[in-house]
Structure 1
Amino acid sequence: MKTILIVEDDEYIGNMIEAALKNEGFATWRAYSGSEALLVFQSRPVDLVVLDLMLPGLSGEDVLSAIRTVPVVVLSAKSDLDHKVELLLQGAVDYMTKPFELKELVARVRVHLRPVDATRQQTLRYNDLALVQNEARHDGQTIRLTPIETKILSALMQARDGTMTRTALLDTLASQDVLMSASTLKVHMSRLRAKLKTLTGTDRIEALWGIGYHLS
């Protein structure tokens, strides 16, 4: 089941979108501000974002700039062509002008979630582990990862001998617009280790005291 993050501060509109998506078999998360949207996106599995631009606090444009790993469908009352082009160039996969038909929104969401051809999917492999989009795979089994967990595992899989210092890992995440402290990294790493242990039956990430982490 695909999961959609709905970022809309108007509760009535958000409820309508959520009902339409759930009616078509999608799971949903809700966020009512830009800051809340990024918090949800970084901590929970998300396949696509439906993003309203007029948000309290952090703007929809700022949220769009921070999300690079999943499709973003923008909703806006602005119909100016130059504004649409700017947002599409900024990274949005689609732009719908309010008011819109819910059936059309759902159809566009489906189009943007169509499976990518296998030859175009980027697959990372390390020993018997594979990472495809936001999924870790092992021996025919799959487990979903959050966007941050995906970035952490990707970095370790691409590191020499699967080993990274804590500083290097934090710098790699920062280069992908994920800023966190060492203590926050430890929390995400703990969750990732638990998921990989569930997937493979063994503890695959070793904490190297005073150094960093090693993926086996």
Structure 2
Amino acid sequence: MNKESVLIVEDEEKILRLLELELEIEGYQVGKAMDGKEALEAYQSRKWDLILLDVMLPGISGIELLRKIRTKNNFTPVILLTAKGSVEDKVSGLDLGANDYITKPFQIEELLARIRAVLRMRPAAPSMEAEIGGWLNTADLKVNVKTREVIRGDSHIELTPKEYDLLLYLLKNKRQVLSRDQILGAVWGYDFQGETNVVDVYIRYVRKKLEYGFETPLIHTVRGVGYVMKDAK
């Protein structure tokens, strides 16, 4: 039995109770909240391994709650529970850093599989160096995993949440060649249903912000495989 903790944020009582029972049967520690304000308090009260977040909530919406979470925490996985056809919510959630989404009504077996997949792919804990100073670096690039600051040389670089997620994943795995599928799974989540070239598009976005005006490229293309982050050494 696993001891991982899941916070369920859902305003429909029957769905909330069903999810609570199923997750407890699977061995998860479960917390629950029925509106955005209650969810924010529950989120701040302890560390959670995963959050199941309904988009349509009274008070603070699920998308706004996700935005608040991601301004302070880039590591806790979030799976959105979305209404059928709510494409805008799915896109907004993924752009804000949701790891995955599932559309209502859903099969509980599929949701449990997605939870397991997201937990397997969650970001590794920061290294001891990062825990002490908050910084990860390569060459003249520094990323603060606590404040989300990105600095190259003397320049502060502004990234969107998804661009930051991509950069952080490359940096945590620097000098390792990562396939597009690996990047897609880690940054966009299990069974992403967007454009298949999304990795290449976002690599271009990050390269433009990270490398324009600098002599040394940091993100390198490995033809036929994917990408690797390394300095010139």
TM-score norm. by structure 1 comes to 0.55
Number of paired residues? 132
**Is the alpha carbon distance of 1:85 and 1:16 closer, same or farther for their aligned partners in structure 2, counting shifts above 3 Å?**
same
Q: State the secondary structure of the residue aligned to 1:67.
A: helix
Q: How far did 1:49 drift?
A: 0.3
**Is the alpha carbon distance of 1:53 and 1:28 closer, same or farther for their aligned partners in structure 2, counting shifts above 3 Å?**
same
Q: How far did 1:83 drift?
A: 3.4
- Structure 2: 5+ residue runs without aligned partners? 135-145, 149-233
Q: 2:133 aligned with 1:158, yes or no?
A: yes
**Is the alpha carbon distance of 1:47 and 1:81 closer, same or farther for their aligned partners in structure 2, counting shifts above 3 Å?**
same
- Distance in 2, matches of 1:36 and 1:121, equals 27
Q: How far did 1:107 drift?
A: 0.8
- Equivalent residue number for residue 111 of structure 1: 117
**Is the alpha carbon distance of 1:80 and 1:12 closer, same or farther for their aligned partners in structure 2, counting shifts above 3 Å?**
closer
Once the two structures are aligned, what percentage of the paired residues are identical?
Answer: 42
Tell me which amino acid in the other structure corresponds to 2:126: Q
Tell me which amino acid in the other structure corresponds to 2:91: V
- Equivalent residue number for residue 68 of structure 2: 66
- Equivalent residue number for residue 24 of structure 2: 22
- Distance in 1, matches of 2:125 and 2:30, equals 24
- Equivalent residue number for residue 124 of structure 1: 128
- Distance in 2, matches of 1:7 and 1:36, equals 9
- Equivalent residue number for residue 202 of structure 2: none
TM-score norm. by structure 2 comes to 0.51
- Distance in 2, matches of 1:87 and 1:48, equals 15
- Equivalent residue number for residue 92 of structure 2: 86
Q: How far did 1:63 drift?
A: 0.7
CA displacement 1:163-215 (0-9 Å, x = unmatched): xxxxxxxxxx8x68xxxxxxxxxxxxxxxxxxxxxxxxxxxxxxxxxxxxxxx
Which residue of 34, 37, 52 corresponds with 2:36?
A: 34
- Distance in 2, matches of 1:90 and 1:50, equals 15
RMSD: 2.5
Note if contact 2:77-2:122 (Cα within 8 Å) is conserved in structure 1: no
- Distance in 1, matches of 2:80 and 2:63, equals 9
- Structure 1: 5+ residue runs without aligned partners? 126-130, 132-153, 160-172, 177-216
Tell me which amino acid in the other structure corresponds to 1:46: W
Q: How far did 1:32 drift?
A: 0.9
Note if contact 2:63-2:89 (Cα within 8 Å) is conserved in structure 1: no
CA displacement 1:61-94 (0-9 Å, x = unmatched): 1111112330110001142434322211111111
Q: State the secondary structure of the residue aligned to 2:120.
A: coil
Q: How far did 1:36 drift?
A: 0.9
